[in-house]
């Protein structure tokens, strides 16, 4: 199926037209700085008009449109064929994702106007995690406060965790419902996921994408009393949000949100950068250990996204000393400049270690086609 994948961010619109079976792209593009003073498009509707011109120029006509939607709340545990009810349900999740869901809604509205006869599917970052057991998604805070605010662990990066855990099963020559995987999505945003026989049973991001691993600019887990202390000292909500979401993580510790730069600094003797990468890796190892325990051991550990796919130093550091947990990385395989899905373990240990490039556009196109085939 030829699918137009639309990924509408708060100030950007990424799109691709691709074949959901082969993954072959007819077009890809990225419209940035929407709504900015000197940007090329005033809003998502106008940006979508530019997409239509590109599609007309190359002469492609999508058979379906797949929309990436960040937040599906607890309503969506699978992609949904878009109708007015689904649009209303996505709108009801705006308070949970105030920057992202309005952009997705704008993209959906524009696409429905442009392609009234083409089926459209919403694919949610949260859906893969929506069936996590209550013990995984419940915060140990006052139940009534949690209920009123819809506080629970939703998890994100679900499309990626689902995709790479399936590829991991393929690489083992087994069906997805027979393998347990710890998936480590390490990009600018980062999260870990325990995948039991094809289902997410726990994940490191929570009510928002701030929880869990150390990220490019986000702190991940901190003592929840820290923002309380700052608030008592007079910091307001916007300042605390800015600190934890935009001035922390690798950037806050090591001066750059780019792991390549952190390595370069560390190798030049910069102690802060060296500490930043150690804190980053230690957090990943802690989650890996936690998820191996939850799964009672895993068939595979998968590294994916910008850092996971390209950084042998991080992969090696994360897995160092885990022999007794069944994980042994082969240094040559880990360091080889290969690109595709591959194993980097030494073949003797019980748990496979893999690098699997994620492809969220292909995953969205595939989920879109599967959903329409079922509908």
Which residues are designated catalytic?
125
Q: Rounded to the nearest whole angstrom, what is the least distance from the CB of residue 13 to ligand ADP in the complex?
A: 15
Rounded Cα–Cα distance for residues 266 and 351 (Å)? 31
120, two tokens: 């459209």
Torsion sign over Cα 312, 309, 168, 136: positive
Q: Rounded to the nearest whole angstrom, what is the least distance from the CB of residue 119 to ligand ADP in the complex?
A: 27
Q: Rounded to the nearest whole angstrom, what is the least distance from the CB of residue 305 to ligand ADP in the complex?
A: 4
- With contact defined as beta carbons under 8 Å apart, do 59 and 86 qualify? no
Beta-sheet pairing, 190-196 with 199-203: antiparallel
Residue 13 or 259: the one with the smaller Cβ distance to ligand ADP is: 259
Query: What separation in angstroms does the CA of 275 have from each of 186, 280, 318?
Result: 18, 8, 14
Beta-sheet pairing, 80-81 with 13-19: unpaired
Q: Rounded to the nearest whole angstrom, what is the least distance from the CB of residue 272 to ligand ADP in the complex?
A: 16
Residues lying near ligand ADP in the complex (CB under 6 A) are found at 187-189, 216, 257-260, 305-307, 310-311
The 10 Å Cβ neighbour count of residue 88 is 9
Residue 158 or 189: the one with the smaller Cβ distance to ligand ADP is: 189
| Closest CB to ligand ADP: residue number | 306
Residue 191 or 351: the one with the smaller Cβ distance to ligand ADP is: 191
Sheet of 64-69: strand order equals 25-31, 13-19, 2-8, 64-69, 120-124, 80-81
Residue 169 or 259: the one with the smaller Cβ distance to ligand ADP is: 259
Residue 139 or 313: the one with the smaller Cβ distance to ligand ADP is: 313
Q: What string of DSSP letters covers 303-344?
A: EEHHHHHH-HHHHHHHHTT-GGGT--B-HHHHHS---SSEE-
Q: Rounded to the nearest whole angstrom, what is the least distance from the CB of residue 199 to ligand ADP in the complex?
A: 24
């Amino acid at each position: 199926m030829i699918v137009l994948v639309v990924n509408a961010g708060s100030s950007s619109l990424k799109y691709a037209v691709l074949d959901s079976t082969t993954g072959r792209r007819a077009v890809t593009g990225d419209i940035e700085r929407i709504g900015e003073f000197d940007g090329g498009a005033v809003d998502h509707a106008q940006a979508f008009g530019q997409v239509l011109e590109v599609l007309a120029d190359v002469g492609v006509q999508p058979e379906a449109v797949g929309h990436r939607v960040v937040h599906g709340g607890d309503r969506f545990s699978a992609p949904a064929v878009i109708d007015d009810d689904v649009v209303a349900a996505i709108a009801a999740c705006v308070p949970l994702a105030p920057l992202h869901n309005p952009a997705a809604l704008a993209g959906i509205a524009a696409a429905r106007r442009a392609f009234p006869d083409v089926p459209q599917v919403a694919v949610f970052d949260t859906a893969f995690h929506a069936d996590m057991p209550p013990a995984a998604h419940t915060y140990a805070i006052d139940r009534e406060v949690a209920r009123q605010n819809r506080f629970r662990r939703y998890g994100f990066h679900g499309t990626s965790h689902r995709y790479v855990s399936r590829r991991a099963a393929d690489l083992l020559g087994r069906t997805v419902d027979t393998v347990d995987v710890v998936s480590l999505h390490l990009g600018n945003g980062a999260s870990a996921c325990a995948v039991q026989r094809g289902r997410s049973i726990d994940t490191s991001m929570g009510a928002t994408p701030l929880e869990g691993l150390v990220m490019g600019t986000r702190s991940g887990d901190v003592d929840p009393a820290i923002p309380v202390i700052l608030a008592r000292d007079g910091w307001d909500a916007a300042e605390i949000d800015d600190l934890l979401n935009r001035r922390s993580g690798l950037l806050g510790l090591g001066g750059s949100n780019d792991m390549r730069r952190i390595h370069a600094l560390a190798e030049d003797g910069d102690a802060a950068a060296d500490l930043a990468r150690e804190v980053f890796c230690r957090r990943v190892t802690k989650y890996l250990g936690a998820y191996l325990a939850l799964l009672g051991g895993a068939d595979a550990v998968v590294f994916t996204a910008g850092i996971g796919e390209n950084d042998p130093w991080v992969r090696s550091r994360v897995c160092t000393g885990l022999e007794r947990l069944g994980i042994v990385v082969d240094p040559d395989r880990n360091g080889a400049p290969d690109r595709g899905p591959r194993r980097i373990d030494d073949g003797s240990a019980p748990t496979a270690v893999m690098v699997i490039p994620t492809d969220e556009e292909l995953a969205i196109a595939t989920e879109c086609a599967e959903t329409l085939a079922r509908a």
